[in-house]
Amino acid sequence: MKSFVVFGYGVPKDILKDENYGRYLSAVFNRIYDLAAGEHALVIFTGGPTECRPPFKRTEAGEMAKLFKKLVGRAPVKAAAKKWKYVLEKKALSSVENSLYSRQYLKKICPVVFFCEHTRAKRDMIVAKKVFKGFKPAVVGIDFDMSSNRYIDKKFLRRKENKALKVDLAALKDKKFLKEYIDWNKRKLKFLRKNYKKDHAKMVEKWWRQNL
């Protein structure tokens, strides 16, 4: 059975109307359709309770599944997706956790395709190979983001990704550091929730620039 892991990126006000998620999950759906139409497949949506607007209860996984199932329900493709099963991984607050927690749902070696935001594809590929050793995972980066974060200075973006990769790999090697890493991401979420009335993309960039 083919398996697919879809990384989440925040919880929008209304995912059914959100343009970024619309582009992202439409591209994800089309790729899964091309690879597994009419076949048995497992689709894992991974992403925890990162909602930045009160009451902070919705999860990335739950929201993505809502939009994805709407795409699946369309008349031309509904029959081809009947054998697909879905899992909602609702704990992860970071890409390392996305891989670690998703791995728990795969008991047998099988082809695994990951979907993520394209600027993070290289880092997520390296992490996925560590976590899914033996699975020969493939990572597909989707260029869906039209927010200001997509157009951050390339030099800064490279610095951010290089630093983030070092931290991600350290978190995989050391359980004590993994706990610190998870706590760091919780502090990031707390910062974004505190500033939820401000421009979200700019607050994400501000956090990175202050904490890089």
Query: Residue 130 is part of a domain; what is its CATH number?
Result: 3.40.50.620
Structure tokens at 48: 């925890």
183 part of a folded domain = no
Place of tokens 């070696």: 109
The answer to whether residue 42 is domain-embedded is yes
Query: In the chain, how many domains are there?
Result: 1
Please report whether residue 24 resides in a domain: yes
Indicate whether 55 belongs to any domain: yes
Cis check: omega of the bond before 55, within 30 degrees of 0: yes
In a domain, 74, yes or no: yes
DSSP β-ladder status, 41-46 and 84-89: parallel
Q: Tell me whether residue 10 is in a domain.
A: yes
Q: For 76-103, write each residue's pLDDT tens digit.
A: 999 999 999 999 999 999 999 999 999 9
State the DSSP H helix or E strand holding residue 141, giving kind and residue range, or none if neither: strand 138-142
Say if strands 112-117 and 138-142 run parallel, antiparallel, or are unpaired. Answer: parallel
Residue 46 and residue 65: Cα distance in Å, rounded? 10
What residue type is assigned to position 166 of the chain?
K
Supply 92's token pair: 């992860």
Tell whether 19 is covered by a domain.
yes
List per-residue pLDDT tens for the chain, 212 residues long.
899 999 999 999 999 999 999 999 999 999 999 999 999 999 999 999 999 999 999 999 999 999 999 999 999 999 999 999 999 999 999 999 999 999 999 988 889 999 999 999 999 999 999 999 989 899 999 999 999 889 999 999 999 999 999 999 999 999 999 999 999 999 999 999 999 999 998 999 999 999 88
74 secondary structure, DSSP code:
S
Q: Which pLDDT score, from 0 to 100, does residue 145 have?
A: 95
- Residue range(s) defining the domain that contains residue 52: 2-150
Q: What secondary structure letter does DSSP report for 139?
A: E
Q: Report which secondary-structure segment, H or E, holds 131.
A: helix 121-131
**Do residues 118 and 157 lie in contact, with contact meaning Cβ atoms separated by under 8 Å?**
no
At 117, which helix (H) or strand (E)?
Answer: strand 112-117
Question: Which DSSP letter does residue 147 get?
Answer: S
- So what's the pLDDT on residue 212? 81
DSSP state of 39: S
Q: Is residue 64 part of a domain?
A: yes
**56 SS3 class:** coil
